[in-house]
Structures are given as C-alpha cells and as structure tokens.
A and B are shown apart, each in its own frame.
Chain A
Amino acid sequence: AQTVTQSQPEMSVQEAETVTLSCTYDTSESDYYLFWYKQPPSRQMILVIRQEAYKQQNATENRFSVNFQKAAKSFSLKISDSQLGDAAMYFCAYRSALAGGTSYGKLTFGQGTILTVHP
C-alpha cells in the first residue's frame, strides 16, 4: 500500500517571502501521479499542482513549483511571493497511474500542513 507523509504540521511565512512544504511517499509502483491540494476554511479542495512520475521536469504553476525527487520519493512544494490568500491547509496526495488496477483513481493523502501567512 502507498503511504504519504507530511512531517510539518504547521508552517508560517511572511507575506512576499518563500516557503517550502515537505512531502515524502512510499510506493512500489513506477507510474503514478503526485498532487498538492489546498483546502481553505471553505473546505473546498483546490488543486494547486500535479506531477506525473514519468516526467523528470518539475511542474510549475505561476508562484507554485515542486521539487520532485523520484529516487528519494520526495515531493516538496515551493510557494514564492506568498500572499495572504495562500493561507490554508495543504495536502500532498498520491494516485496510482495503473489503469484498471484496484487503486486506480484513489487518492492517498498526507496528514496536511497548515500554512499561516503573516502580513
């Protein structure tokens, strides 16, 4: 079974600064997807960024980028130029890419990291 670990229960950052959230995972599969989701107090899960395991290039979405280290099974999220609206719970998640497998489509989430942004 796959596991996802976020070792930082809480993080804080000053507005306009950069912060990195950590995530490690364990799997025996070679093809999978990794995601970072944001959950503000509204409860709505918002996809921040995704990474396909077969791609060596790190994904980037505007101020958000990842450092994907497949051999180390590490998937950290960097938020640049932090904004007050970035304050939320952030979840790292894993999903198998094996079509038709018993785990297909199912997300395994980490414990979450609460991000506070100070003005």
Chain B
Amino acid sequence: SAVISQKPSRDICQRGTSLTIQCQVDSQVTMMFWYRQQPGQSLTLIATANQGSEATYESGFVIDKFPISRPNLTFSTLTVSNMSPEDSSIYLCSALGDTTYEQYFGPGTRLTVT
C-alpha cells in the first residue's frame, strides 16, 4: 500500500494570490491525480499529473489556472493561481498503485479564499 501526505493541510489566502499544494507518496506509483471537492459537493478530477511532461487537464480546467508539476514518480504539486473565493475547496491528491485496483488518497488541503 501507499501513504500520501499533502502540505499544507489548510490555508486561508487572499484573492489574487497563488498557493502551491504539495503531494508526496511514500512509494512509487504509476499515476497521480488532482481532485477538487467544493463545499458539500462531490469530487471532480482536475488533471492527471504526468511524470516529466505536461499534465492532462479535464474539461473546465486549464493549465494557466492550475499548473501542475510531477518531477518524479512520488511527488507532485498543484498551484491554484490568481485565486478567487470560488476556488475555496478541498484539493485532494490521489495515486494509482501497481495493481489495477489500488487507489490512494491524500488527506486533502482545505483552501479558503477571502
């Protein structure tokens, strides 16, 4: 199994600023993902973090707003840029293990934009 940690666990930011969220997995994983969970809502996939190349974004999410890096097989970052109150959400990192059904989640980062 894999354990995922995220930093920070929560933050309060002012509109117009940017926040970078870090995701660290304690073992090598095949794929990493970033999800957003707006207050009281379900999880929505933002993008797939590709190791050594540009992330693959889902419809409605763009690189300028949510730049993602994945420099190696165990680490990824998500930046929320030029934040507005609508970006207030929980951001979760997820990873797919070696077997086809192992999927792990980080504890999430609760972001509040004022």
Contacts and interface: CB of A to CB of B under 8 A. Distances in A.
A106 B33 contact: yes
Nearest to A97: B100
A110 to B, nearest CB: 7
B108 A43 contact: yes
* Interface SS of chain B: strand
Given A95-B103, A105-B96, A43 B110 contact: yes
Interface in B94-114: 94, 96, 100-101, 103, 105, 107-108, 110
Interface stretch (A22-30, A45-53, A66-74): A45-53
Contacts of B12: none
B85 to A, nearest CB: 20
Given A43-B107, A45-B92, A105-B31, A33 B45 contact: no
Greatest chain A CB density within 10 A among B48, B92, B100, B103 is at B103
Count class of interface residues, chain A: 20 to 34
A72 to B, nearest CB: 22
Contacts, number: 49
Interface of B: 30-31, 33, 35, 41-45, 48, 90, 92, 94, 96, 100-101, 103, 105, 107-108, 110
Given A105-B30, A107-B35, A107-B45, 18 more contacts: A33-B100, A33-B101, A35-B103, A42-B107, A43-B107, A43-B110, A44-B105, A44-B108, A45-B92, A95-B103, A104-B31, A105-B33, A106-B48, A107-B103, A109-B42, A109-B44, A111-B41, A111-B42
The 8 closest A-B pairs by CB, nearest first: A45-B105, A43-B108, A105-B31, A105-B96, A109-B42, A109-B43, A111-B42, A44-B107
Interface of A: 33, 35, 42-45, 47, 50, 52, 91, 95, 97, 99, 104-112
